[in-house]
Chain A
Amino acid sequence: MELVLGIESSCDETSVALVRGDGTILSSVVSSQVATHGRYGGVVPEIAARAHLTNLPGLLDAALAEGGVPLGDVSLVAATAGPGLVGALLVGLSEAKGIAFGLGVPFVPVHHIEAHALSPFLSPAGGAARAVPERFLALAISGGHTHVFRYAPEGISCLARTRDDAAGEAFDKVAKMSGLGYPGGPVVDRLARLGRRTGPFPVPQFKDGSRDLSFSGLKTAVRERLLALGLEPRTGVLAARELRGEESLPAPLLDLLADFQEAVVAQVEDRLTRLHEDGPIPLLTVSGGVAANGLLRERLEAWGRRRGVEVLLAPRALTGDNAAMIAFAGLVRHRSGAPHEGFAAPARSRWPLPELPPLRGTALQ
């Protein structure tokens, strides 16, 4: 059976994984640089690239040891080629190409967002992956993306996208304003459950009837409500000592977080409902960092049951950047026979997903 080695280095996580030809994850190891970049208030590309180069060999050793297979058994190598930080991408991409060249096996460049979009087909429990159907919609929702893509044999298209901030960015900014540090997703998810919804924020609509999303107005509304509550919004990089102690948070702040989280989820539901009315959604995958959010998961599963749409949520462990999804996407692309650049693939900072050729008859049956 095929054995796929995947490498991810597009931003601030370095990851190496081994996935079998049936989509079973044998190993997936991730090294995060969150602590390294925290002091700069964002990911510093040069520091990220250096850390990827330092971290990769150890991660490769760990992935092979955990997978219990020798490198020589690898029959396909896949690595993220974009979109992402070019200097960071080039590290994983180059190492992956070197390995594939040395082993004499094919190399598949992988689109990072496609890998997220396909990750819900992977089994969380270590079993084989589900077959990838010809038609499905993919909600990719993270700190960098809030997009709905349509996969069809005719091609990949973008049905909706955020016109300003990504949903994950809104979580991060709201957490920062609230003095809760970075990243914002997990802490807001946890604290919002302690609050009660008291004052709903409106779901924004575009006059042109577009299904696009927007989160910048929500961010401003949260800021205004913080001020109204007498809670000065925080700015800049927070030192650990400035973080608000979770045990002493005022109830109105918890309520505000509950209202904020509800507004994000309600907007996503609204757009999915309208897209479903435009044309029945055959199957929906939900992936990316915000797909780890508990409320979003509960509500989209319920939404799917109500609407008769099968909703596949990315396994929680695979919502962040990881190489298992890269290996799997490489495998799916390889099986589909769709053309790609192989060893000549450059690292791309910008790479619209609809530029990829459609997947045809990919099913991992």
Chain B
Amino acid sequence: MLASGQAAMRVLGIDTASPRPELALVEASDAPGAREAVAALPPAAAEALPEALSSLLSSNGLRVSHLARVAVLSGPGSFTGLRAGIAFARGLARALGVPLVTVPTFEAARAALDPGQGPVDLFLGAGRGEVYRCRARPDADARAFDRLPRHDAAAEAAEAGVPTIDLAEVRLALASAAARLAAGGASGGDEGPAYGRRSAAEERFGT
């Protein structure tokens, strides 16, 4: 439960794009261990969003007007889920007059890793036997990713001696991580979704 005092700022995190969609409310503060509340979303995450948000707010004694920021995953992820999450977040932030923060999926995932976790390659299913991959390079941009066949990605990780985490298999609490990044001052609301892949028609026609 979050305290419903007036002083603390709350940030909403929305993940409708990953294999484990969630909503998170984070009480933003500089202190580590800020409290948070999380609600899992069903697979048809887009349609469940408003009611899930409604019950998450009310069960924490909050109203929508208590939201000071809205964070949403910007991709990669399910095309439809990304768009629905971004559109809802954008509309919500605009109506509330608060900042919208788009957070790349892998940036949220890195932030969500256990602090004791060593280097790890992150995978997110991209369909057609491929994965989006964010490589374990401490110096690299956390949002950088590429797309390649899953077995190639696995082979390269094995060769480098780096373990892998598939976001479909391990829950990394991406919505909370996105909200915490946004609460911590991350900004950026104009970044369109990083789809990671053109539409099938464009790929076929080579346009």
Q: List residues of A whose CB falls within 8 A of some B CB.
A: 39-40, 44, 46-47, 49-50, 52-54, 56-57, 60, 71-72, 86-87, 90-92, 94-104, 107, 343-347
Residues of A contacting B49 with CB < 8 Å? 94, 97
B92 touches A90 (CB 8 A): no
Which residues in window 74-88 of B have CB below 8 A to A? 79-80, 83-88
B64 touches A104 (CB 8 A): yes
Query: Which listed residue, A52, A56, A95, A97, touches B50 by the CB 8 Å rule?
Result: A97
A50 touches B195 (CB 8 A): yes
Select from chain A the residue with minimum beta-carbon distance to B81.
A90
The 6 closest A-B pairs by CB, nearest first: A98-B91, A102-B95, A46-B199, A343-B50, A94-B87, A99-B91
Taken together as a complex, chains A and B put the C-alpha atoms of A52 and B199 apart, in Å, by: 14
A95 touches B87 (CB 8 A): yes
Taken together as a complex, chains A and B put the C-alpha atoms of A92 and B86 apart, in Å, by: 11
Chain B interface residue count, CB cutoff 8 Å, equals 36
A101 touches B47 (CB 8 A): no
A71 touches B199 (CB 8 A): no
Knowing A54-B192, A99-B95, say if A46 contacts B201 (CB, 8 Å).
yes
Query: Which listed residue, A39, A44, A57, A101, touches B92 by the CB 8 Å rule?
Result: A101
**Is B46 interfacial (CB 8 A cutoff)?**
yes
Residues of B contacting A87 with CB < 8 Å? 79-80, 83
Knowing A87-B83, A346-B44, say if A95 contacts B90 (CB, 8 Å).
yes
B50 touches A71 (CB 8 A): no
In the assembled complex, the CB of A118 is this many whole angstroms from the nearest CB of chain B, namely 24
Query: Which listed residue, B53, B88, B193, B201, touches A94 by the CB 8 Å rule?
Result: B88
Residues of A contacting B93 with CB < 8 Å? 98, 102
Knowing A98-B95, A99-B95, say if A91 contacts B87 (CB, 8 Å).
yes
Taken together as a complex, chains A and B put the C-alpha atoms of A60 and B92 apart, in Å, by: 13
A98 touches B90 (CB 8 A): yes
Taken together as a complex, chains A and B put the C-alpha atoms of A87 and B83 apart, in Å, by: 8
In the assembled complex, the CB of A198 is this many whole angstroms from the nearest CB of chain B, namely 41
B83 touches A90 (CB 8 A): yes
Taken together as a complex, chains A and B put the C-alpha atoms of A287 and B130 apart, in Å, by: 46
B201 touches A40 (CB 8 A): yes
Select from chain B the residue with minimum beta-carbon distance to A96.
B91
Residues of B contacting A91 with CB < 8 Å? 83-84, 87
Knowing A39-B207, A90-B46, say if A344 contacts B51 (CB, 8 Å).
yes
Total A-B pairs, Cβ < 8 A? 109
A98 touches B192 (CB 8 A): no
Residues of A contacting B50 with CB < 8 Å? 97, 101, 107, 343-344
In the assembled complex, the CB of A49 is this many whole angstroms from the nearest CB of chain B, namely 6
A102 touches B201 (CB 8 A): no
Knowing A53-B193, A99-B95, A102-B96, say if A46 contacts B200 (CB, 8 Å).
yes
Taken together as a complex, chains A and B put the C-alpha atoms of A343 and B54 apart, in Å, by: 10
Query: Which listed residue, B84, B87, B201, touches A56 by the CB 8 Å rule?
Result: B87
Select from chain A the residue with minimum beta-carbon distance to B193.
A53
Taken together as a complex, chains A and B put the C-alpha atoms of A87 and B79 apart, in Å, by: 9
**Is B35 interfacial (CB 8 A cutoff)?**
no
Taken together as a complex, chains A and B put the C-alpha atoms of A97 and B84 apart, in Å, by: 10
**Is B202 interfacial (CB 8 A cutoff)?**
yes
Residues of A contacting B199 with CB < 8 Å? 44, 46-47, 50
A102 touches B47 (CB 8 A): no
Select from chain B the residue with minimum beta-carbon distance to A61.
B94
In this complex, the member of A90, A98, A346 whose beta carbon has the largest number of chain B beta carbons within 10 angstroms is: A98
Taken together as a complex, chains A and B put the C-alpha atoms of A72 and B65 apart, in Å, by: 13
Query: Which listed residue, B88, B95, B193, B205, touches A39 by the CB 8 Å rule?
Result: B205
7 interchain pairs (CB within 8 A)?
Answer: A40-B205, A44-B201, A47-B201, A49-B79, A53-B87, A98-B90, A343-B50
In the assembled complex, the CB of A281 is this many whole angstroms from the nearest CB of chain B, namely 38
Taken together as a complex, chains A and B put the C-alpha atoms of A335 and B34 apart, in Å, by: 45
Residues of B contacting A95 with CB < 8 Å? 87-88, 90-91
A46-B200, A98-B95 are known; give 12 further A-B pairs, CB within 8 A: A40-B201, A44-B201, A46-B199, A50-B195, A53-B192, A57-B90, A71-B94, A94-B84, A99-B91, A102-B64, A102-B95, A344-B50
Residues of B contacting A39 with CB < 8 Å? 205, 207
Residues of B contacting A92 with CB < 8 Å? 87
- Return the CB mask of B81-118 against A: 1 if under 8 Å, else 0: 00111111111111110000000000000000000000
In this complex, the member of B94, B193, B200 whose beta carbon has the largest number of chain A beta carbons within 10 angstroms is: B94
B88 touches A98 (CB 8 A): yes
